[in-house]
Structure 1
Amino acid sequence: MNVAITTLVKDLNTTVGTIQVIIAVYALTMASLMLIGGKLQDVIGKKRTFLIGAGIYGIGTTIAALSINSLMLLVGWSILEGIGAALMTPATASIISGTYHGKDRTFALAIWSAMAGVAAAIGPLFGGFLTTFFSWRLGFGLELIIILAILAYSGHIKYFKPIMERSDIDVMGAILSSSGIIVLVAGVLLLNSFKTWTYAPYLMITGILILTVFYFFEKRRISRGKIPLFDINLLKNRDFTLGTSTRLLMNLALAGTVFVMPIFLQAVIGADAFTTGLILMPLTVGLLIFSLVASKISGRLSHRTIIAMGFLVALLGAVLLRSQFTLNAQLIDLVPGMFCLGVGLGLSIPLTADVILTSSGDEKQADASGFMSTAANLGSSMGTAVIGVILILGAISGMYAAIDTTYPNEITKQQYKENINTYFDKLKTTNLEQLRGQTSTASTIVNTTISTAMQWAMDAVSLFMLLGLILTMFMRPFGKEG
């Protein structure tokens, strides 16, 4: 959807701001309902929850495909598909976890995780291809075909008996968790714009406070012998908490990388959507292959060891990439770093799902899958916003350093701050193609600005990987060593 914004504005006779709001509402809807979607599995069953979600998603994608205005797109995609995804996503994890056991479950979850990662990497390419050569509506149409196939083959999905009554549903917990996540994610999304990011901390803090109230409300509900929306006692399980945290960090790094790479490739190098997709392919291929490799070698090495190896390889990939972003960058030079990132993500992401779901026990699969999906969705939302902000800050720092070096003592930090919008407007209108290979002042300033911005972004990704590696060290051995 991000790559189709310009086309959507024209086709639906709306504005860029409206489309961005629609995209944000989808993220808000999905993130805020994941916990509820997870818990509904205990009330109406995993299979029924998944199929109801599929039905809602199918209705939503049909409305979105037929949209004649922005309101139809909002209702169809942002709301109905968001609700459908919130019901389906946790259920997929718990259905897989409940259907398979031992090595088979590890392998099945590896495939599931690999598909999610690959989809995140190729989504922009696929969306751009459809929008450019056919229509963005076709993307929604293809989703409908997939939903129909799911419904047609739904008889093959294993049935799991519900373990809760409808009267046991924690309504207040649902309200608190949804509102807290909505406010938190809204705050994160406000980081995407210079105009709104000053409001972001207030919303994020408010969201955290609401979620804190939710935590103590659930704790009190458990002490009274009532069934909570989410069993917070799972957070006392070290492997569950660390597995969820490392998975969030991986999704954050993946979303951030997939966000900044197309910006550099298209805005700086001038690559088209297809070429951009080709440069992302090494990440996609590495992620897919090594997700399967991770499940195979989990019988020889512990999950902790393999996840740590993944973070190390991904960290190496980010380090390799940070020095490659210049005006004269050669696309082939980006391939090793992108592949290492994919390999690292492939080794780590699938096994974190296995750690999370196995450590929670069979009776808590619904709670675990809902919380895991919420954390992963938060990581993806935060990745785009956080890395986007760091990219902007890096560009600001790089441009000032370049100007100060080129014109020493001619401009103060205060003057630079006051005229920063003017400088960036000039950068946006600069013909970068003419600056390549030159040694002019303009070329030096632009090159330093771009290089510093991308280096900051990759340094942030490296930091996430390092933090994930440290957290992994505190996991208990699981698998071969366990």
Structure 2
Amino acid sequence: MENDTNSNKIGWMALILVALSSFIIALDSTFMNVAITNLVVDLHTTVSAIQIIITVYALTMASLMLLGGKMQDVVGRKNAFLIGAAIYGVGTTVAALSINATMLLIGWSILEGVGAALMTPATASIITGTYTGKNRAFAIGIWTAVASVGAAVGPLIGGFLTTFFSWRWGFGLELVIVIFVLALSHRIKYFAPTMKLSDIDKFSVLLSSFGIFIFVLGILSLNAPKDWIFSVMMMVVGIILLIIFYLREKKIISRNEIPFTDIRLFKDRNFTLGSLTRLIMQLALAGAVFVLPVFLQQVTGSDAFTTGLAILPLTIGLLVFALASSRLSNKISPHYLISIGFLIALAGSFFLSFQFNLNTHISDIIPGTLLLGIGLGLALPITGNIVLSSADDDKQSDASGILSTSVNLGSSLGTAIIGIVLILGIVNGIYTAVDHTFPNEFSKDQISQNLTQYSEKMQTTNITGLKSNETSIAYKLVNITVNHAMKTTFDFVTVIFFIGFLISLFIRPLKEKNVKKKITD
């Protein structure tokens, strides 16, 4: 960071503004999860439609994030950030005024998604361009922590506003923050453009965007088991497009031309593993924050605000330990902290896998959610510093674009995959429950037909009345199903954390002065 007082003021204000921007973008991915019932009723739509809208928001960001990162080089980091903020502001206004699901999709998922795709990479590169040394590490830690807390505190804020006011106030809150950011944007340092729009390889843009979009769309369509073959085909097509994209970038680099994304960054082990571990953590966080409100509202009968309070231990654990991670990294090597974080989060998800049934109380899940928050809080900020510190200053736009893509791809996949795992758990659970209670009386086709009708309304129908008669057949059926579905879901999350832990073991220690190797062919 520059040494003069004015530059210091600009630098810290820049951190505040970009951190607030990251906060509302992350908040957007989770704060409506607890308001699904209200959205279904107010907009006259279905649970499936709302889940698609929630996921498309993350999908839009993920598919356009590389382009958003590159636009920093074309219009400058600050300008890319401000253009994104303006688009985001329009989107959140449309979302707040939505009268149907289509309007919410356009305002929230599309416009806000596009705005966020421009803003997010710029927030990272503005920080790396404004700060140096320990100040940069601290700023990256705060920026990551605030964004992570935004995702974790989303259910609480969304629950409070939905219960006592309206879910529309959530988008209104975001608009206020956008206006605040734009009003004080003169405090952000200006960064000159380094390339022209004509220098961007348009075919690479299409390959990367459609590759990510089609791949994740294939994941989403797995919600309909009868279309699994088609889903797998879409995922394969997406992967093929991304492979072609990689080969094209490699060819462009070999001709000493400007690549859309400098894939040579992946030659750095810490950059690659840091990005991958960040994706895994976002996947697990998004999945947990999606499935917990489903259980709390459907099974325990909690309202939106109570649901948010129930997830508060996760938020507190994440915030406290995210802020503490920078100090802890002075005593414990950062790459070890990531591994420790994964293990603690793993312990939390393992504990939660045994906690769910029709008699579960909010107090039963507090230890597990707290451990999840602590583990993620330790690891998330450090991964951001590892990734961005692995890239030279002239590669920060590419590095921030790739990091942002991995974060939002993880969030998108988390919501989609956990939703699929939950449905599979329900299917297997109901098969087990019916077969145990009524052996050989119902076929799987009969069960599946009724299950489909149930899952379509599972967040607009309350089953807490079953608790009045625990000896009834209905109680036994639903209890076995709920237990099996939630255990399957958190067993999956546990496995994801274990994979992340194994990957984290191969991250190298950060060099004290962030010495970066020049990336060459």
Q: What is the letter of the counterpart of residue 265 of structure 2?
A: L
Distance in 2 (CA, whole Å) between partners of 1:437 and 1:479 is 62
> Equivalent residue for 1:421?
449
Find the counterpart in structure 1 of residue 118 from structure 2.
Answer: 87
Distance 1:387-1:431 versus aligned 2 partners, 3 A rule? closer
Name 1:466's counterpart in structure 2.
Answer: 498
Deviation by residue 1:42-78 (Cα, 9 ceiling, x = unmatched): 2221111111111121222233334455554444333
* TM-score, normalising length: structure 1: 0.92
2:74 maps to 1:26? no
Task: State the partner residue of 1:454.
Answer: 486
TM-score scaled by structure 2? Answer: 0.85
Q: Which residue of 1 aligns with 2:171?
A: 140
Shift of 1:393: 1.6
Alignment of 1:49-88 (within 5 A): 49-68=80-99, 71-88=102-119
% same residue: 55
TM-fit CA distance, 1:21? 5.0
Per the alignment, in what secondary structure is the counterpart of residue 164 of structure 1? coil
Q: Is the 8 A contact 1:298 1:479 kept in 2?
A: no
How far, CA to CA, are the matches of 2:395 and 2:513 in structure 1?
A: 24
Q: 1:433 to 1:202 in 2, by over 3 A?
A: same
Residue identity opposite 1:421 in structure 2: Q
Deviation of 1:145 after TM superposition, in Å, equals 1.4
- The answer to whether the aligner puts 1:476 opposite 2:504 as a matched pair is no
CA deviation after TM superposition for structure 1 residue 342, in Å: 0.2
Matched residue, 1:434: 466
**CA offsets 1:365-417 (integer angstroms, 9 cap, x no match):** 11011011111111111111111111122222223233333445x358xx224
Of 303, 308, 322, which aligns to 1:291?
Answer: 322
Alignment of 1:250-399 (within 5 A): 250-399=281-430
The question of whether the paired residues in 1 share the 8 Å contact of 2:55 and 2:412 is answered with: no
Corresponding residue for 2:130?
99
Cα shift at 1:93: 1.1
Separation in 1, partners of 2:311, 2:43: 30
Q: CA deviation at 1:200?
A: 2.0
Moved more, 92-101 or 355-364: 92-101
Per-residue CA shift, 1:284-317, capped at 9, x if unaligned? 0000000011111111221110000000100110
2:182 aligned with 1:182? no
Distance 2:105 2:487 in 1: 36
Counterpart of 2:484, as a letter, is T
3-state SS of 2:261 partner: coil
Contact 2:33 / 2:290 at 8 angstroms: preserved in 1?
no
Q: Which residue identity is paired with 2:194? A: I
SS at match of 1:146: helix
Q: Compute the displacement of 1:419 (Å).
A: 2.8
Aligned to 2:311, the other structure's residue is in SS state helix
Q: Give the CA deviation at 1:10.
A: 5.6
Deviation at 1:461, TM superposition (A): 0.7
Q: CA deviation at 1:9?
A: 5.5
| Contact 2:155–2:311 (CA under 8 A) maintained in structure 1 | no
1:324-371 CA deviation, whole Å, 9 max, x = no partner?
Answer: 111111221211110000000000111000110001222211101101
Distance 1:256 1:10, change over 3 A: closer
Post-superposition offset of 1:116: 1.8
Q: Structure 1 residues 20, 441: closer, same or farther in 2, change over 3 A?
A: closer
Cα RMSD for the two superposed structures: 2.5
Amino acid at match of 2:417: V
The alignment partner of 2:193 has SS state of: coil
Q: How many residues align?
A: 479
Q: Residue 199 of structure 1: SS of its match in structure 2? A: helix
In the TM superposition, residue 111 of structure 1 has moved relative to its aligned partner by 1.7
Residues 22, 385 of structure 1: alpha-carbon distance in 2 compared, 3 angstrom cutoff: closer
What are the ranges of 5 or more consecutive residues in structure 1 without an aligned counterpart? none
Q: Deviations over 1:419-477 (max 9, x none)?
A: 32225657967844333672444333322211111111111111111000000111111
Is the 2:341–2:376 contact (alpha carbons within 8 Å) kept by the matching residues of 1?
yes
Give, in angstroms, the shift of residue 29 of structure 1. 2.4
What displacement does 1:231 show?
0.6
Give yes or no for contact 1:327–1:436 (8 Å, CA) kept in 2: no
Letter in 2 for 1:348: A
Aligned pair partner of 1:166 in 193, 197, 200? 197
Distance 1:45 1:22 in 2: 31
What CA distance in whole angstroms lies between the structure 2 residues aligned with 1:19 and 1:454? 21
Change (3 A) 1:188 1:426: closer
Q: Provide structure 2 residue ranges, at least 5 long, that are not aligned to the other structure.
A: 1-31, 515-521
Structure 1 stretch 55-64 or stretch 4-13: which is displaced more?
A: 4-13
CA contact (8 A) 1:50 1:91 kept: yes
Q: Residue 103 of structure 1: CA displacement?
A: 2.7
Q: Measure, in 2, the Cα distance between the counterparts of 1:271 and 1:459.
A: 24
The more displaced of 165-174 and 48-57 is 165-174
Deviation at 1:176, TM superposition (A): 1.1
Q: Is the 8 A contact 2:34 2:307 kept in 1?
A: no
Q: Distance in 1 between matches of 2:267 and 2:55?
A: 32
Please, which moves more after superposition, 74-83 or 300-309?
74-83
